[in-house]
Amino acid sequence: MKKLLISFVLFASLIGASFAENFFSHRFFEVKLDVPVEVSNNLLGLTDIFKKDVVIDLAEIADNVADKGAAIKGNIAPALSIGIDIPRGLILGVKVGAEADIGVGLSDDLFEFLGKGNVGMDNKYKMGTENTYADLFATASVNAGWNTKKSRLEFTGTAFSALAHFDASDTYAKLYINDKENSFGYEANLDAKLYTNVNVNNGFDDINAILNSITNNMGFDLSASYKRDLFRFLTIGATARIPLAPSKLSLCTSVSSKYSGEYSIEQMLGTESENENSSGDVEEETEENEASKEAAFDPKNMLGDPVVLATPYAIHRPMKIGISANFHPFGSLLTTSGYLGLGIRHPFASAINSGIDIANTDYYVDYAIAGRLSLWNIISFELSHEHMDEVYKNAFALSVNIRLVEVDAGVSLQSTNFTKSFTGAGLGAFATVAIGF
């Protein structure tokens, strides 16, 4: 009976401890390294490829990308931070890092043509590179705030320097067929611009030039977050990131070419006949032409000399605003959380880049839902689904925390298409290591 009573007391104590905050819950000081990497698409998933009989259904792909076309996304954001976070006291820290965000978009007409032919396309289609961009930032931030018994208020000021911005959203190709004249034609436009502060034709060997670019072209934005325990079992919050001053890029390296042509079937057949009876001199000329074409497609020859912009290209990091809720009726043992917000990529682009051909401002809705199981705040498991920065993610994360050291790691299946995000059309991973006391 005595052993049974002792076992019951121990069991009750463990259960009670799992519901409450404890020694492992919080570090007053920590150094943290965070490395997230993500790549996704909405065309093919792992479940489409890793099977016995692989079938690429072009018609199904055309249906999947019918709304926004094909989209490929990638980003990486390593960061190192140091800070203090005192319960019912001061929050203060610094953070340095880098952010790379890449998007490649292809309009749906190409996949409609490949999957279903030209039915309903009026014998013509256009393939464009919509929302194709790349942004690279270096960042440094300072955060400060205060914890009270039931709330947390924190402000973060971030200085960021745009290292490069690439845009190819005006590149397209058109193909049309003339049934009456038994001919077809094409029109293509290659238009790509790279904004930097260093001459990319000289490579990236000049470290001093890169450092000067970072320090002399800083932009600023301000973030604020507020959380409050509305009830014992519910915490609500709000967050926002507001651009204040843009980072500026003064050099533009561009590629701009237009191509067009029209051919009849009879003309093509006649050309083939002449080529079959051609002499060796014509073949030598062809080889010279091929050599010149290869030289023309050398990236060094395709990129023009950088032009100093009269008005530098100005760019902000994405603007964010959102609200959150955390439901924890069982304390830290089991919690569920949600987030709903709005994101704006390239905010105020039209206003601050008057006269410069720029990528369109892009609006999107962010949301997230998650469930977390924590065993005495030592081992925690989390499952989540979210749509952030136009990418759907289904993630699993594991956290091991022994106070002095915490290691968080997670993987995600993701895609720019909701359905494909469950098939492994993209993969993400992160690892976070925190050391402190």
176-199 tens-digit pLDDT = 776 666 777 788 888 888 888 887
Residue type (1 letter), 398: L
Confidence of residue 348 (pLDDT cuts 50, 70, 90): confident
> Strand, coil or helix: what is 191?
strand
Q: Does 105 or 275 have the greater pLDDT score?
A: 105
Q: How far apart are CA 67 and CA 310, in angstroms?
A: 38
The predicted structure's pLDDT at residue 124 = 66
Average pLDDT over residues 30-50: 84
> What average pLDDT is seen over the chain?
80
Q: What is the per-residue burial (b if ≥16 Cβ within 10 Å, else e) of 32-63? A: bebebebbbbbbbbeebeeeeeeeeeeeebbe
Number of alpha carbons in the 13 Å side-chain half-sphere of residue 269: 5
- For residues 247 and 217, the answer to whether their CB atoms sit within 8 Å is yes
Q: What is the per-residue burial (b if ≥16 Cβ within 10 Å, else e) of 224-258? A: ebebebeeeeebebebbbebeebbbbbbbbbeeee
Cα torsion 211, 213, 219, 225 to 10°: value is -30
Range with the lowest mean pLDDT among 42-46, 160-164, 336-340, 404-408? 42-46
Q: Does 20 or 339 have the greater pLDDT score?
A: 339
Q: How far apart are CA 130 and CA 302, in angstroms?
A: 21
The predicted structure's pLDDT at residue 359 = 53
Q: How far apart are CA 404 and CA 406, in angstroms?
A: 7
- For residues 204 and 210, the answer to whether their CB atoms sit within 8 Å is yes
Q: What is the per-residue burial (b if ≥16 Cβ within 10 Å, else e) of 371-401? A: ebebebbbebebebbbbbbbbbbbbebebeb
Q: Does 269 or 85 have the greater pLDDT score?
A: 85
Q: What is the pLDDT of residues 360-399, one digit of tens each?
A: 678 899 999 999 999 888 899 999 999 998 889 999 999 9
The predicted structure's pLDDT at residue 122 = 61
Query: SS3 for 321-346, per residue?
Result: EEEEEEECCCCCCEEEEEEEEEEEEC
- For residues 201 and 253, the answer to whether their CB atoms sit within 8 Å is yes
Phi, psi of 364 (to 5 degrees): -155, 155
CA angle 169, 170, 174 (to 5 degrees): 120
Q: How far apart are CA 172 and CA 185, in angstroms?
A: 14
Q: Cβ contacts of residue 228 below 8 Å, gap of 6+?
A: 150, 151, 152, 235, 236, 237
The predicted structure's pLDDT at residue 371 = 97
> Strand, coil or helix: what is 130?
coil
Q: How far apart are CA 72 and CA 24, in angstroms?
A: 40
- For residues 345 and 354, the answer to whether their CB atoms sit within 8 Å is no
Q: Cβ contacts of residue 256 below 8 Å, gap of 6+?
A: 190, 191, 192
429, pLDDT greater than 90: yes
- For residues 169 and 196, the answer to whether their CB atoms sit within 8 Å is no
Q: How far apart are CA 245 and CA 16, in angstroms?
A: 50
- For residues 322 and 341, the answer to whether their CB atoms sit within 8 Å is yes
17, pLDDT greater than 90: no
Q: What percent of the chain has pLDDT over 90?
A: 37
